[in-house]
Amino acid sequence: MEVKKRPVYVVGHKNPDTDSICAAIAYARLKKILTGEDHEPARAGHLNEETTFVLKEFGVNPPTFLRDVRTQVRDMEIREIKGLSKDSSLKTAWQAMKDNNVVTLPVTVDEHLIGVISMGDIVGSYMDIYDSNILSLARTSYYNIVESLDGKMLIGDINSSADKGKVVIAAGNPEMMEELIKEGDVVILGNRYEMQLCAIEMGASCLVVCEGADVTKTIAKQAEEHNCKIISTPHDTFTVARLINQSLPISYFMKESDLVTFQMDDYIEDIKHVMAQVHHRYFPVLDENDNYVGMISRRNFLGAKKKKIILVDHNERSQAVNGIEEAELLEIIDHHRLGSVETVAPVYFRNQPLGSTATIVYIMYCENAIEIDKQTAGLLCSAILSDTLLYRSPTCTDIDREAGRALAIIAGIDEEKFARAMFRAGSNLTSKTPDEIIHMDFKKFSINDKTVGIGQVNAMGAEELDEIKTRIQPEFAKELDKGFDMVFFMLTNILTESSEVMSVGESASNVLENAFHVNAKQDGSAILEGVVSRKKQLLPAIVEAVQQ
C-alpha cells in the first residue's frame, strides 16, 4: 500500500490578521521550494475584511481552516482493504481475510458501507446452521455454488439463484430418492444414470455431479426440458457436502445495523473509548461523504503520526491553534515577545524585533536567493503595510520599510494608495456583529495570575471609530464572562497615529491610567496619543502596570 505523505501545515494565530495569513502563505511556498516537500498554508480562525480584500486583490484562495491539530484517524495507517459485494460467497470472504490477514471485512455498494462480515460469522455458518434449506433461504447464486465447488455449469444459467428447496445427497436407491427429493431441491450425486434421471423427473432444480463424472446426452436433454441445472465438480460427495455451504452469500450473515464506524476527521483520543467498549478488532473508516475508505485496528494507534506544524506570527500557546500541544512543532517564525509555547524537542525558532513577520519571510527568501513572484510579493507587502500601519507604527524599522518598498516594486503597487484601500476595506464592518468585531484581531495573554485579552481595530478616521465603539460598547463587558480578568480594546486612528483604548474588568481602568499616566473616562476608556501598536506600546505598559 502506498503511504500518502502528509503536509506540513504553516499556520498563524487564532483571529488571524493580514500578517498572519500572508506570512503563512509565503513561508509555505518558500519551504516547498527549499525542501521539495508539501507545505500547506493554514489558518486557525476566520478571515477579517482586510485580509479578504488582500487575498482577492492578488487572486489567492484562503488557506485551509485548521480547527484543531490533535491527531486524527486520517493520521493513522488506514488499511485500504477492498470492500466485498454482498453477493460474495463465504469462501471468497474467507480467502480475502487470509490474503489481508484480517478477521473483519467491509461489505460495500458503490463505495458505500452496508455491513461487515467477520471470521466469527463464517465460523458460525458452519457450526450453528443445520437447515438443509439454507441455500434457498439465502438465495444463493449458482455462480457462488460453481465457484465454491471448483466446478463447471454444464446446463442452465449460472447467474440465477436457488430460491426454493433443500440440499439432498442421493445416497439411496431410486425408490428411496423418489420419496426424499422434492421440487426445487439441489441434489448431490454421482455417475448413476438412473439416479440422475430420477432427480430430474422429481423436479430437482440442480444436479451436482461429483468426481467429474460424465453426463450423457440423454440426461443433458432431459435436464434442459425440465429446466434443471447440472454442475460438474471434481470433488467427491463428502467434499461437496462440506464445501457447498461456502457458496452462501455473505449478505445472509453480515452485520448491517449498529455498525461501529469512524470518520477520517475523528480524533483518536475520542475513539479510544469506543474501541475499548467494543470487542471488534477492525473498524471501518468513512470519509466526509460517508464513503468507505479503509479499516483500522487498535494496533494502528501505535503508528499514528502527529500533525507537523510550523507557527508564524505568534509563539503564545493561548493564541495557537487548538491541540497544538499534541502536534509535532517544527519551527516558529515570529516578531513578538517570547510566549508560553513549549516543545518536546528543539525546533528552529526565528524571532526578530521587526514590524512584521512578513519582513522576516522576505529576508529568508533573500538569504536563500529565491526569486519572489509578483503574487507572493503582493501578499508580503500587504502584510508589512498592515502590521506597520503604513510604516507609522513604532514597531516599524528601516528593514521593514526597505522590504515593503522592494516588494511593492515587484508587486507593481503604490504603497500609499494600496494601504488606504486595504485599511478602508478593513474598517468596513457593517456586516459584522459586535462580538465578531471585538474578536477580529484579538489576542489572549497571561500576565502573572491574570488572564488579559487585547483586541484592536484600525480605521482611517475618527468617524468610523466612533461608530465602531458605539456598536461594541453594549457587548464589551460580556468578555469577562469568557474567563478574562481584564479586557482592553484599541480603536486605532491611522491618520492621527493615536488610539482610544476601551477597558473592562476589575482594576482595568486603573491599570490603563497607571500604564500611560492618563485619566480614564467614566466608561473606562482613554485617549492615548502616539499609541498605535498593541505589541510594542500597549502590551508592555499593561504588563508592567499589572506586575506592579
CATH for 525: 3.10.310.20
**Vertex 18 angle, CA 29 and 404, to 5°:** 75
Residue 130 located in a structural domain: no
230 plus 257 within the same structural domain: no
Residue 38 located in a structural domain: yes
242 plus 258 within the same structural domain: no
498 plus 440 within the same structural domain: yes
Distance of alpha carbon 268 from alpha carbon 279, whole angstroms: 17
Q: What is the DSSP string of 112-146?
A: EEEEEEEHHHHHHHHHS---TTHHHHTT-BHHHHH
493 plus 543 within the same structural domain: yes
In total, the chain counts a number of residues equal to: 548
Beta bridge partners of 434: none
Provide the pLDDT for residue 299: 80
Residue-range definition of the domain harbouring residue 357: 8-71+307-426
Provide the pLDDT for residue 274: 82
Structural domains of the chain, count: 4
Provide the pLDDT for residue 2: 43
Q: How many CB atoms lie within 10 A of CB 101?
A: 7
92 touches 147 (CB < 8 A): yes
CATH for 312: 3.90.1640.10
Provide the pLDDT for residue 3: 45
Q: How far is CA 226 from CA 53, 133, 146, 184, 295, in A?
A: 79, 21, 20, 11, 47
Residue 80 located in a structural domain: yes
Query: Quick one: cell of 119?
Result: 471470521
Low-confidence ranges of the chain (pLDDT < 70): 1-4, 279
Distance of alpha carbon 1 from alpha carbon 97, whole angstroms: 16
319 plus 368 within the same structural domain: yes
265 plus 408 within the same structural domain: no
310 touches 347 (CB < 8 A): no
Residue 131 located in a structural domain: no
337 plus 421 within the same structural domain: yes
411 plus 451 within the same structural domain: no
Tens digit of each residue's pLDDT (9 = 90 or more) over 107-159 = 999 999 999 998 988 888 877 777 889 999 999 999 999 999 999 999 999 99
Residue 1 located in a structural domain: no
